Amino acid sequence: MNSLNSYLFISSMLFCLGLFGVITRRNAIAVLMGVELILNAANINFVAFSKFNGMNLDGHIFALLVIVLAAAEAAVALAIIINIYNNMNTINIDEVSELKR
């Protein structure tokens, strides 16, 4: 609790788990969840550094901005996903992909 390293450790774990989720999961929403994890990890980093740098509040502002961005992005992403679902009846990433095999 009193060392920066532990928070960084936690945030890196979260980040890796989120990365794992992004590259592994087939469902689009599950991928979105992974992205949220990553963003959270980044946030923890910002805030932790802010605390351990003499309570410099710049980190907090950034964390705030990140949260707002995450919200906006989640809204738009979900809109897109719903659209995709309406059009293709599935949101399995493999099936909706039009990239050439």
Partner 1 sequence: MLNARPKLNQMAELVFWIISALTIMSAAFVVLNNQLVYSAVALLFTLFGVAGLYVFLWADFIAGIQILVYVGGILVLVIFGIMLTNKIKSVRISHKSMQQGVGGVVTFWFFIFLFLALTKAPWVVSEAMEPIGTVRGIGILLLTDYLLPFEIISVLLLGALIGAAVLSRGDS
Partner 2 sequence: MIENPMIIFPLLILFLPLLSFIIVIFFGKKLPRQGDWVAVGSIITTFLLASYLFLQMILNYDPDFSYGASFSWIDLGVFKIDLGILVDNLTIVMLLIVTLVSSCTHIFSLAYMKGDIRYNRYYAYLGLFTFSMNGIVLADNLISMYMSWELVGVSSYLLIGHWFEKDSAANASKKAFLTNRVGDIGFFIGIMLLYSAIGAFSFAPIFESIAGGQSIAGPTLTVAGLGIFMGAVGKSSQFPLHIWLPDAMEGPTPVSALMHAATMVAAGVYMCVRLFPIFTPGALIVIAYIGAITAILAALIAVSQNDIKKVLAYSTVSQLGFMILAIGTGAYTAAFFHLLTHAMFKANLFYCSGSVIHSMHHALHKIHDHDTDPQDMRNMGGFKEKMPITYFSMLASTLAIAGVPLFSGFLSKDAILAGALSFAQHQPQHFLLPLFGFLAAALTAFYMFRLIFMTFHGQSNMKSIFKDIHESPKEMTAPIVLLGSLSFFIFYTLPHNFNPLKDTGWFNDLIVPRNSAVPGNLTANELAEYAHHAHYLAMGLSLVVASLGILLAYLIYQRRVISAKNISEKFGFFYDWSLNKFYFDENYNRYLYQPCLRLAHTISWLDWEFYDKYFINGFGKLTKLLSNISGKFDYSGIDQGVVDGFGRASNAAGKVLRNVQTGRLQNYLLFVVAGILVIIIAQAF
Distance CA 8, CA 99 (A): 37
At 2, the amino acid letter reads: N
CA dihedral 57, 58, 64, 67 (to 10 degrees): -130
**φ, ψ for residue 53, nearest 5 deg:** -115, 35
Name the binder of 91 from partner 1, partner 2, none, CB < 5-8 A by kind: partner 1
Binding mask 30-59 for partner 2 (x = CB under 8 A): -x----------------------------
Binding mask 18-47 for partner 1 (x = CB under 8 A): xxxx-xxxxxxxx-xxx-xx--x--xx--x
Asked whether the beta carbons of 10 and 44 are under 8 A apart, the reply is yes
Q: Per rule CB under 8 A, is residue 22 in the interface with partner 2?
A: yes
Encoded tokens for 6: 């532990």
| Residues of the shown chain interacting with partner 1 in the complex, contacts defined by CB under 8 A | 1, 4-10, 12-21, 23-30, 32-34, 36-37, 40, 43-44, 47-48, 50-55, 57-58, 60-61, 63-65, 67-76, 78-83, 85-86, 91-92, 94
